[in-house]
Amino acid sequence: MVAALLPVGCGSSDGLPGGRPPSPEEVIRVVPHDGAHGVGTGGRFEVRVPAGRLERVEVLRTGDAGRQRVTGRISRDGLTWRPAPGELAPGSRYTVDAVARDGAGHRAARHTTFTTSAPPGAFVGFFTPEDHTTVGTGMIVSLEFSRPIADRAAVERAVTVSGRPAVEVAAHWFGNQRLDFRPRARWEPGTDISLDLRLQGVKAGPDAYGTQRKTIHYHVGRDQITTVDAARHTLTVRRGGRVLATFPVTAGDAENPTYNGKMVILERRSVTRMNGRTVGFGGDYNIPDVPHAMRLTRSGTFVHGNYWARPGIFGGTNTSHGCVGLKDVKGGGRDTPAGWLFRHSIVGDTVQVRHSRGGRRGNTVAPDNGLGGWNIPWERWKRGSALR
């Protein structure tokens, strides 16, 4: 959630769509290139398709003013998207999500990121989601800084996370560039969360000074927990303790089981590409149009729609490379199991996986792989503060 350059993976090799569709890189071209760093604010920025038509382009900027949408427009012929003049800002991270159809009608989605150059010596803290977002009760407020922090205590003193009604909130560092905040237990529904950044002028190390003075607000919505039982091949959705729905699923296979433990929905995409090469599975799969995808880990674990699996897979066999798949149709159906879950979920909802066994993965998700901090006991979590 806090790192913009994230791999996407976890397709199933069982019943994959036949043939070779064009890759998203062939359908959708983005300049600057994916992962570019130090891009000048006066540089070229565009999204285009050689043939076909762009359907949707969404660009978000994360910088000293928080997370903001970038204004732009698709050309009349549908081939090019460009931002409004002066939209690129220094010291910012940009995420590009585009959906298009090529000249033969194949639909593809592409997600890329790049960062612009920052003033010498400056650092900022990147956060998501954007200001005034309604989040689930499992939300962990997470910051990733643009450079390593030498004086973590000074930076932690300048960052406050609080709730109304008031609740104890503690900080925990993961290395020297990531700082997370959470309460002892999940937030109560209706809580208003404030993230107060008073980093402007704060010295974090030799020639490293903060530039942000910003307060971000989140509102906690209803309490929803989704539980996946990998042994029984089921997914159960509870809201306020009441069961709303239970669906059959396919989880990670014996060699690549789904992580156990508590995870949090980091982002939601109506369609995305899943490519095994981005997460170490080589050419096992490359699916350009996975519908109703919700990310659970930075390493590429998703709950997503699956339209290519054979009948009987859902509820009967675990076949994926670690994701949790629900029945869906090509293009994404509104009332399919995957479509229903997508419509009823928000960023910050808790997803807990149980009874997933075997394979080369660690049994429980790492606390810094996404927002896995709920798997750390409270007293140990508090010991991760630089102010203890």
pLDDT (tens place) for every residue of the chain, 388 residues total: 333 334 556 665 555 555 556 788 889 999 999 989 889 888 899 999 999 999 999 999 876 555 688 999 999 999 999 998 888 888 888 999 999 999 888 888 899 999 888 777 888 898 888 889 999 999 999 999 988 999 999 999 999 999 999 999 999 999 999 999 999 999 999 999 999 999 988 999 888 899 888 999 999 999 999 999 999 999 999 999 999 999 999 999 988 899 999 999 999 999 988 865 555 444 455 788 899 999 999 999 999 999 999 879 999 999 998 999 999 999 898 999 999 999 999 999 999 999 998 655 558 999 999 999 999 999 999 999 999 7
Q: Which CATH class is domain 122-221?
A: mainly beta
**Looking at beta carbons, which pairs linking 47-50 to residues 24 or more positions away fall under 8 Å?**
47/80, 47/81, 47/82, 47/96, 47/98, 48/79, 48/80, 48/81, 49/78, 49/79, 49/80, 49/100, 49/102, 50/79, 50/103
Of the candidates 321, 323, 344, 355, the residue annotated as catalytic is 323
24-116 has which fold? Answer: Immunoglobulin-like (2.60.40)
Catalytic residue list contains 323:
yes
Of the candidates 132, 304, 321, 344, the residue annotated as catalytic is 304
Asked if 92 contacts 61 with a C-beta cutoff of 8 angstroms, the reply is: yes
Asked if 173 contacts 386 with a C-beta cutoff of 8 angstroms, the reply is: yes
**24-116 and 224-374 in the same fold:** no
Of the CATH numbers 1.10.645.10, 3.20.20.140, 3.40.50.1000, 2.40.440.10, which one belongs to the domain with range 224-374?
2.40.440.10
DSSP classification of residue 364: B
Query: 245-272 burial by CB neighbour count: b if 16+ within 10 A, else e?
Result: eebbbbbbbeebbbbbbbbbbbbbbbbb
Going from N- to C-terminal start, the domains of the chain cover 24-116, 122-221, 224-374
- In whole angstroms, give the CA distance from residue 82 to residue 75: 8
What are the E-state strand segments in 265-314? Answer: 267-275, 286-295, 302-306
Catalytic residue list contains 10:
no
Pairing relationship of beta strands 141-145 and 178-183 according to DSSP bridges: antiparallel
